[in-house]
Chains A and B, each alone.
Chain A
Amino acid sequence: MQSSISLSLSSPSTICRSDSSSPAAASNGNVNLLNPRSLRFCGLRREAFGLNSSISMRRIESSSVTRRPCSNRILASLSGNGAPSKEFDYDLVIIGAGVGGHGAALHAVEKGLKTAIIEGDVVGGTCVNRGCVPSKALLAVSGRMRELQNEHHMKSFGLQVAAAGYDRQAVADHANNLASKIRSNLTNSMKSLGVDILTGFGSILGPQKVKYGDTVITAKDIIIATGSVPMVPKGIEVDGKTVITSDHALKLEFIPQWIAIVGSGYIGLEFSDVYTALGSEVTFVEALDQLMPGFDPEIGKLAQRVLINPRKIDYHTGVFASKITPAKDGKPVTIELIDAKTKELKDTLEVDAALIATGRAPFTQGLGLENINVQTQRGFVPVDSRMRVIDASGELVPHLYCIGDANGKMMLAHAASAQGISVVEQVTGKDHVLNHLSIPAACFTHPEISMVGLTEPQAREKAEKEGFEIGIAKTSFKANTKALAENEGEGIAKLIYRPDNGEILGVHIFGMHAADLIHEASNAIAMGTRIQDIKYAVHAHPTLSEVIDELFKAAKVKANTSSPAAEPVAA
């Protein structure tokens, strides 16, 4: 519940993941207040931040957690990694070289900190190796398959294409090659900046003391960025062949004729897109009463009409998969479904494979948290709004931070990276609180879904509590020239805003390239830009971005333009 503080929202009950019968899942629902996003999305910074300024400043912080202006400045070394302070081996040690740790490390070097990153497995973590990156490779394939298989679509372009087919191994290789490539990019970007990559399983021995392998090192500040693993509810036996998690599915070792996907959130939805494009039939098992919980209901409804109904997909809602037995001895995978409320056995499914996509559980075991009196909450490391770790007695642990999936605030790769940067800002003396409501999320189905900020029900709840009105504006891709040129008129964009002051509360997009379109809105939220100002920004014609332009123009804001048209610039 810690996280609710930073989000200033009470926990909406509608967003817990499917299969919330299991304790871990329930916790998931509670901890990820706004968006229980189970698949992590990458916000990779491909290039290390260059050290263009010849002098980087570094501040040495006092041990007090309250930020004190500090005048004790020293010059950092000019080349990459900073020089350590005398008492410690490193200024900053990050446990876990996923996207969160990588983002933090790069920013730390930029700020002149001597930085080390500890990784017990492979650099890149879930996102690069078992998450967003390989899944994007598969989704790129599925998008093209869909286009080629859509005869009607091709015909309307005047194109004739012979039957499209695919080579499973080559598709799997594409995903694997992409992951290796991104992994080496990530490693190189850290090496070139002089970040020490320490190999071994990292754990905390005591305050400012970390152990990896048999080596003990000291650091002024420590960031835990250990991420998460797929969550498997009890009763489900994962054999890695016919009952699988996203880790196995991304290897695409076989394409079942019929696969059940347990959980209809991001992971499930994206995999349904991949599997149906490659010829599988899909059955969703969702614990809540509707598919795609967590999405804005209106977007979810439209998405269901486009992504579920016309495809070879059926679904069972309001049921838990209480028992899943892998296929063996010629028997198919069996899934027992029990009613989510009455717990009575409702149905048994027999399928060729089952993918467990019920969310992700924090990977915090063996971290040595007991050495510093920190108790995880259902596996998550409790933190405050500045990612500072809170111990069992409710006190802040000095010099210890936790970012990313391990704290459960927002289980997205780019959120972890943003949190890491926020932490580095703090340890270098600048107070920084990350606004999680400005972090966008996307689901890379065909077409894509993206969102930032609040959903309509969340906004209404907040509006009622705080006593303001909300306005809704919508635009359709059907009215967009570029979308029509692409024959992709399916989709809407939706804006939730405050008519009284023009504040953007949330933007939801379903349509072609939605994931790329959301940033105009997320940046506006992050910068605090109001609709009455952004509506005068110019968009190139004809582009999909005009969908968002229309959206801002469609909003009816009562407030006047806060800053009259920008100063004319001589051309």
Chain B
Amino acid sequence: MSHLLQSTFIPTTPTTLRRCSVFPTTHLRKTHVVESKIREIFMPALSSTMTEGKIVSWVKSEGDKLAKGESVVVVESDKADMDVESFYDGYLANIIVPEGSSASVGSTIALLAESEDEISLAKSKTLTTVSSSSQETPPATVTEEVSPVASPVAAAVSLSSDAVKIASAIHPASEGGKRVVASPYAKKLAKELGLDLRGVVGSGPNGRIVAKDVEAAAAAASDGAAPIGVAAAALKPSGSAPAAPVVDLGTTVPFTTMQNAVSRNMVESLAVPTFRVGYTITTNALDSLYKKIKSKGVTMTALLAKATALALAKHPVVNSSCRGGKSFTYNSSINIAVAVAIDGGLITPVLQDADKVDLYSLSRKWKELVDKARAKQLQPHQYTTGTFTLSNLGMFGVDRFDAILPPGTGAIMAVGASQPTLVGTKDGRIGVKNQMQVNVTADHRVIYGADLASFLQTLAQIIEDPKDLTL
């Protein structure tokens, strides 16, 4: 009786966990031109009803030697998990379908090279395969100008990379870096992400590398090393009305690595007691200066960064940072991080030594950084070394907003739009002046109200009389 009831669910033959073999065949396909000795491993059909299989785990990793008959991969079909064996000796050159992903029956899930030398060949083959298939999608449109758009959560990403920061904490038992002390999960993550732990600085007990260090390092690395094709469409078009986002409503989407990093830093920021001071600055002089030198490639971002840097030079405490809550550091250089929104997150390219570098070089530097950000080729030092952050939403017509202080820095300035404003003057007249509102969020453990007030006063003087900027 019960047997009848369940007959639709249970195969009459015990199909569980049997071993089966797949021939990595050498037949030719259009996109995978298979040469002499690189064979493809296909998703096998493990049952008559199976249309796609999920890779439960790769028994072997890339580069591992395989002997004929050895298990390579565990595939989950609609019925059971099965070990899939190799029918050839060789090396597992490239895993195309990672663990946890599914592939339809007959599709290539990995490449098998006959000798070790051919592993790289096999890898390059995959690249061609991948890029050729990605060409089918229409090329993404990219706007030329990247605006220094930022959200209030500016600079979140830059902080995620504590790991890339100065390796001050070498593990006492790491024998001067020869040994890597990392927790089991950190090691597992690093292996999954293909990250070399030797470059990661640990933040755990005794300087041990823990999972979040690996995640941070990976986020940093992937920001810099993502394939160009993908990154090209990432930067948001500026100015133009934002296109309606294409999302599936009602779905829950797991965080990307970058979103994870942002999320973590935002939560971390709650541990810092911050306060805000606002100031209204007249920009007529700055605007006319900008008009004059715009043709020389100077951007508004560079102008604002330069002005801020010059003001910071006179108020080193605003450029300081507090870590741990027992001491703080007067940073030796003034590095202005400018938040830029990109698709799927934001990043803070850094203008190093903005107080010393001249305006024209600063403008060129900014263009270079933006190009790199667009290509996701920024190196960690190009977005993690900011000492003060600028976040500008003026181009959206936002007149004032409030930014969250990125942990590890002392202050962030939110810049609103400059707009014509009716102003009463001291002599009782009424006039129209261009004014913008700035709002600085700072760490009150080290920066006090008077510090910010005098910094803003200095900044207003510089912007209202901008002749020093072009020096």
**Interface on A for B, CB 8 Å cutoff?**
155, 257-258, 281-283, 305, 309, 312-314, 331-332, 334, 348, 350, 352, 473-476, 478-481, 484, 492, 538-542, 546, 549-550, 554
Contact = CB atoms under 8 A, between A and B. Distances in A.
B185 A281 contact: yes
B9 A481 contact: yes
Contacts of B252: 155
A258 B16 contact: no
Contact of B185 (A312, A473, A476, A478): A312
A540 B2 contact: yes
Contact of B184 (A281, A331, A479, A539): A281
Q: Is the interface of A mostly helix, strand, loop or mixed?
A: mixed
Interface of B: 1-2, 5-6, 9-11, 14, 16-17, 56-57, 74, 79-81, 173, 179, 181, 183-185, 187-188, 204-206, 208, 210-211, 252
Give the 4 A-B CB pairs with smallest separation, nearest first: A541-B2, A476-B16, A312-B185, A314-B184
A474 B1 contact: no
A312 B185 CA distance: 5
Nearest to B10: A479
Nearest to B254: A151
A478 B79 contact: yes
Contact of B205 (A352, A476, A478, A550): A352
Contacts of A538: 1-2
A313 B189 CA distance: 11
A266 B188 CA distance: 24
A410 B188 CA distance: 36
A550 B14 contact: yes
A550 B185 CA distance: 38
A57 B14 CA distance: 51
A258 B181 CA distance: 12
A257 B205 contact: yes
Given A257-B205, A334-B173, A479-B10, 9 more contacts: A258-B183, A258-B184, A281-B183, A309-B57, A474-B14, A475-B14, A476-B79, A480-B9, A480-B10
> Most A CB atoms within 10 A — which of B5, B14, B208?
B14
B80 A314 contact: no
A479 B80 contact: yes
B289 to A, nearest CB: 52
Contacts of B14: 473-475, 550, 554
A497 B204 CA distance: 52
Given A314-B188, A550-B10, A476 B17 contact: yes
Nearest to A352: B205
Given A476-B79, A541-B1, A541-B5, A350 B185 contact: no
> Most A CB atoms within 10 A — which of B5, B56, B185, B204?
B185
Given A478-B80, A539-B2, A546-B6, A313 B184 contact: yes
Given A281-B184, A314-B187, A348-B173, A492 B17 contact: yes
Contact of A350 (B181, B184, B188): B181
Contacts of B5: 541-542
B17 A257 contact: no
16 contacts: A257-B183, A258-B184, A305-B57, A312-B185, A332-B206, A334-B173, A350-B181, A350-B206, A352-B205, A478-B79, A480-B10, A481-B9, A538-B1, A539-B2, A541-B2, A546-B2
A540 B1 CA distance: 9
A308 to B, nearest CB: 10
Contacts of B179: 348
B205 A332 contact: yes
A479 B205 contact: no
Contacts of B181: 350
A538 B9 CA distance: 18
A274 to B, nearest CB: 16
A313 B5 CA distance: 41
A438 to B, nearest CB: 25
A58 to B, nearest CB: 46
Contacts of A546: 2, 6
Contacts of A541: 1-2, 5-6
B65 to A, nearest CB: 19
A137 B11 CA distance: 38
A348 B10 CA distance: 50
A474 B82 CA distance: 13
A473 B252 CA distance: 42
A283 B2 contact: no
A282 B186 CA distance: 11
B413 to A, nearest CB: 34
A283 B184 contact: yes
Nearest to B16: A476
Contacts of A481: 6, 9
A350 B2 contact: no
Contacts of B1: 538, 541
A539 B2 CA distance: 7
Contacts of B184: 258, 281-283, 312-314
A310 B181 CA distance: 21
Contacts of B9: 479-481, 484
A442 B329 CA distance: 58
B22 to A, nearest CB: 20
A313 B187 CA distance: 9
A473 B15 CA distance: 10
Contacts of B187: 314
A481 B185 CA distance: 34
A282 B185 CA distance: 8
Contacts of A475: 14, 16
Contacts of A476: 16-17, 79-81
Given A312-B184, A314-B184, A350-B181, A478 B2 contact: no
A281 B56 CA distance: 22
B204 A312 contact: no
Contact of B188 (A258, A312, A348): A312
Contacts of A283: 184
A4 to B, nearest CB: 32
Given A258-B183, A281-B184, A348-B173, A478 B204 contact: no
Contacts of B56: 305
Contacts of A473: 14
B195 to A, nearest CB: 16
A363 B105 CA distance: 59
A479 B11 contact: yes
A484 B16 CA distance: 15
A305 B80 contact: no
A312 B186 CA distance: 8
A164 to B, nearest CB: 18
Contacts of B211: 312
Given A305-B56, A542-B6, A546-B6, A478 B16 contact: yes
Contacts of B204: 257
Contacts of B16: 474-476, 478-479, 492
A539 B3 CA distance: 9
A334 B173 CA distance: 10
A317 to B, nearest CB: 14
Contacts of A549: 2
Contacts of B185: 281, 312
> Most A CB atoms within 10 A — which of B11, B57, B183?
B183
Contacts of A314: 184, 187-188
Contacts of B205: 257, 332, 352
A471 B79 CA distance: 22
A555 to B, nearest CB: 9
A258 B17 CA distance: 34
A282 B173 CA distance: 19
A185 B17 CA distance: 44
Nearest to A541: B2
